[in-house]
Structure 1
Amino acid sequence: MVTFLLERTAPLPLDEAWRRLTQWPRHGTVVPLTSVTVITAPPTGEGTVFVARSGIGPLAFDDRMEVTVWRPPTDDLPGLCRLDKRGRVVTGWAEIEVRPGPGGRSRVLWREELRARPLPRFLDPLLGPPARYVFGRALNGLLRQP
């Protein structure tokens, strides 16, 4: 398994940063060759399930995720969303935390533990750099796009 942490400060109020990061179909607009479909009815909360389909044709795979913690930010508490990955290819979890940052900005922490089942475990360290790069670009894109 690969575990990594991404940190960003965005010139956004807490609720706007939270909104941008938790509108699941938007993730498909910032991750190459990926579309996201929400399976459960709105609104998003604990129990929401969505699928990120990545790849082309027969080389595509589904990354099924379920929201297992849903706590939007308040004046007193940072926002926290936990996603458990339950796909046949990708497993693990991700946590998105949104907290107050300096000067009215938002501070975002994205923690992820990722495992690609088809890869032998000794190759896990090779998965880290590309995963950090792809998820880092995705995080930047989500925070930039209104």
Structure 2
Amino acid sequence: MATFSIDRTVPLAPDEAWRRLTRWERHGDTVPLTRVTARPPGPGRRGTLVVARTGAGPLAFDDAMEVTVWQPPRGGAPGRCRLEKRGRVVRGWAEIEVRTDPGGRTRVVWREELDVRLLPALLDGVLARSGRLVFGRTVDHLLRRP
């Protein structure tokens, strides 16, 4: 299993950072050959199914995830979302946390654990670095655009 985290401090209110990060369909904007859908459509909630389809034709695969924790930030309390990855190829989990730091700024922490079927554990370090790069770019993109 490859584990990594992404940490950002942003000039947004916590609820706005949360809204941007949990617009699931936009997560594919920066990942080549990837389209993301969510069921049911609209604002997320516990039980939402998010599917990232990556690839082309017969070489495509689904990264299926279910939202198992949905706690938007409220009244100074941090927001937390957990997705359990349940695809045939990609397993693991992702957590998004949005909170106010002691200086009053909004802090976003994205943690992820990935297990890619048939990929030997020897490559976990490469997978973690790649994940940090790809998901870091996605987080930056989502937080920059309303």
Give the shorter-chain TM-score range: over 0.9
Could you say if the C-alpha distance between residues 82 and 25 of structure 1 is closer, same or farther in structure 2, counting changes exceeding 3 Å? same
CA distance in structure 1 between the partners assigned to 2:60 and 2:36 by the alignment? 13
- SS state at 1:131 partner: helix
The aligned residue for residue 55 of structure 2 is: 55
- SS state at 1:35 partner: strand
Alignment of 1:97-108 (within 5 A): 97-101=97-101, 104-108=104-108
The aligned residue for residue 74 of structure 2 is: 74
- SS state at 1:45 partner: coil
The aligned residue for residue 65 of structure 1 is: 65
TM-score using structure 2 length: 0.93
CA distance in structure 2 between the partners assigned to 1:76 and 1:132 by the alignment? 28
Q: Is residue 14 from structure 1 mapped to residue 35 from structure 2 by the alignment?
A: no
Q: Aligned AA for 1:55?
A: G
**Which stretch shifts more, 60-69 or 50-59?**
50-59
Alignment of 1:12-51 (within 5 A): 12-51=12-51
* RMSD across aligned positions (CA): 1.5
Are the counterparts in 2 of residues 13 and 104 from structure 1 also a CA contact under 8 Å?
no
**Which stretch shifts more, 100-109 or 51-60?**
100-109
Are the counterparts in 1 of residues 23 and 43 from structure 2 also a CA contact under 8 Å?
no
Are the counterparts in 1 of residues 76 and 100 from structure 2 also a CA contact under 8 Å?
no
CA distance in structure 2 between the partners assigned to 1:105 and 1:33 by the alignment? 34
Question: Following superposition, which runs of at least 4 residues in structure 1 exceed 6 angstroms of deviation?
Answer: none
- CA offsets per residue over residues 92-125 of structure 1, 9 Å max, x none? 0000000013664310000000110121222222
CA distance in structure 1 between the partners assigned to 2:41 and 2:32 by the alignment? 26
Are the counterparts in 2 of residues 93 and 113 from structure 1 also a CA contact under 8 Å?
yes
The aligned residue for residue 89 of structure 2 is: 89
The aligned residue for residue 121 of structure 2 is: 121
- CA offsets per residue over residues 5-40 of structure 1, 9 Å max, x none? 110011101110000000100101122221111122
Are the counterparts in 1 of residues 2 and 124 from structure 2 also a CA contact under 8 Å?
yes
Aligned residues: 146
Q: Aligned AA for 2:133?
A: Y
- SS state at 1:19 partner: helix
Are the counterparts in 2 of residues 63 and 90 from structure 1 also a CA contact under 8 Å?
yes
Unpaired runs of 5+ residues, structure 1, are: none
CA distance in structure 1 between the partners assigned to 2:103 and 2:124 by the alignment? 39
TM-score using structure 1 length: 0.93
- CA offsets per residue over residues 65-85 of structure 1, 9 Å max, x none? 000000000123100000000
